[in-house]
Amino acid sequence: MPVRVSEFSWQQTPATVFLSLPLRGVCVRDADCFCGESYLKVNFPPFLFEVFLYAPIDDGNSKAKIGNDMILFTLYKKEPVMWETLSMPGVDKETMQGIREKSILQAQEKAKEATEAKATAKREDQRYALGVMMKIEEEERKKIEDMKENERKKATRELEAWKESQRQAEKQKNIPRKEKCQRGKQAEERGAPKPPNLPRKAPSAAHLPKRGRNWENIFSEKLKEDSIPAPRSAGNIQISFTPRAFPTALRESQVAEEEEWLHKQAEARRALSTDLPELSDLKEEEKNPDWLKEKGNKLFATENYLAAVDAYNLAIRLNSKIPLLYLNRAACHLKLRNLHKAIEDSSKALELLTPPVSDNANARMKAHVRRGTAFCQLELYVEGLQDYEAALKINPSNTVVQNDAEKIRNIIQGTALKSRD
């Protein structure tokens, strides 16, 4: 139930009413003020204040100021008269409800009108802005068309001037020809003798064909061609590459360790025997350690760790020289909280993953991490940190292993500090 506020003070002038409403802790964010022509309401949970005004006011210009545990209302009267009281006397519940509903409807209509007016003003502004933009674009278009027309006229004038200059030049050339023809006609009419045929001059040495020089050039060019050796005959060069089983370059790898690793892998494959007396009832695919390893991996992915351990156990019975079988079984033991068995399998995998080469680097890192995890779960943090640091030596850029190693260091340092205290 709301607590109705009855303590307030008010003053008036012929045109204005000043109302002070004390509310402890009131703020602009939480206070809800509603003002109509004849109704004023303040809702500040759990406080509620409402008054049915003596006469109508101008709710559009009236103001409210909130602060210092107080709300100050400045209400402007519609008619400049002095009120006898602030609230309307003798108001029953039905009249109050009617005034409330009327005030709310009036407020909704005013808000709707204001929204429509704002939307209309916005449309007018958009229409005006569009008209201005169209006018600017039209002016720009007209300016561009005028520039194009001026350029066209200028080009036309230049073309006409060039044609006129060409005509004048043709006229200047034709005038001497016409004068010469006229002079010849006039001389023939007067009977002037024709000039005698003069003997031709002997051609000078400069006009003679340079036969000797040409023969000389051709002879020198022929000598040059004879001095150029013939192209070499085609041939094939045989190149033999050293076979490499590892992706690393020969100058960066350890040949002896790699050869030892390949020799161990070959021995493991040769040691495979499928005719053991106690395994004679197995299916053909179940006698393959690789198939059993894949089966164990699928069971591990489905979180059936006990069945995965059985698959790895059978694969190890068939071939005990495959390090990945011990490595995967160590992961199953970690999930089953068989921590000592996980340490044993990880150590066995590291024993088989020798010598250390790039081909088994990832498996060696996993073995160190799993053994270190088992040590840490047994609260042997120093031994676990040693395995994590060995994994980081193999792959220093692994951020997950770096973060886990840092956590183990913090645990060891915290234990040391507690023991000192």
- Return the sign of the alpha-carbon dihedral for residues 377, 378, 381, 387: negative
pLDDT of residue 258: 75
Asked which of 240-254, 280-294, 302-316 is least confident by mean pLDDT, the reply is 240-254
Question: Is 261:253 a contact under the CB 8 Å cutoff?
Answer: no
Helix (H/G/I), strand (E/B), else coil: 14: coil
Is domain 3-91 classified as CATH 2.60.40.10?
no
CB-facing half-sphere around the CA of 19: CA atoms within 13 A? 26
Residue with structure tokens 């519609």? 78
Burial class (CB in 10 A: 0-12, 13-18, 19+), 367: buried
Taking only the tens place, the pLDDT of each residue in 273-285 is 443 435 545 666 6
| CATH annotation of 285-420 | 1.25.40.10
Q: What pLDDT does residue 330 have? A: 94
Q: Nearest Cα to 272, choosing from 259, 290, 260?
A: 290
Residue 323 pLDDT more than 70?
Answer: yes
Alpha helices in 271-360 (DSSP H): 289-301, 305-318, 323-335, 339-352
Read off the pLDDT band of 190 (50, 70, 90): low
pLDDT tens readout for residues 114-125: 889 999 999 999
In this prediction, residue 364 carries a pLDDT of 93
Placement of tokens 């994994």 in the chain = 391
Listed by start position, the domains of the chain span 3-91, 108-180, 285-420
pLDDT for 320 beyond 80: yes
pLDDT digits (tens, 9 = 90+) for 205-246: 444 444 445 555 655 565 555 566 777 778 788 887 766 666
pLDDT for 275:
39
Question: Does the reported pTM lie above 0.85?
Answer: no
Higher pLDDT, 225 or 321: 321
Q: What is the largest CA-CA distance in the chain?
A: 151
Whose tokens are 């003020």? That residue is 33
Residue 77 phi/psi, 5-degree rounding, is -75, 150
The predicted-structure confidence for 143-153, as pLDDT tens digits, reads as follows: 999 999 999 99
pLDDT > 70 in the chain, percent: 78
Mean per-residue pLDDT, 65-94:
85
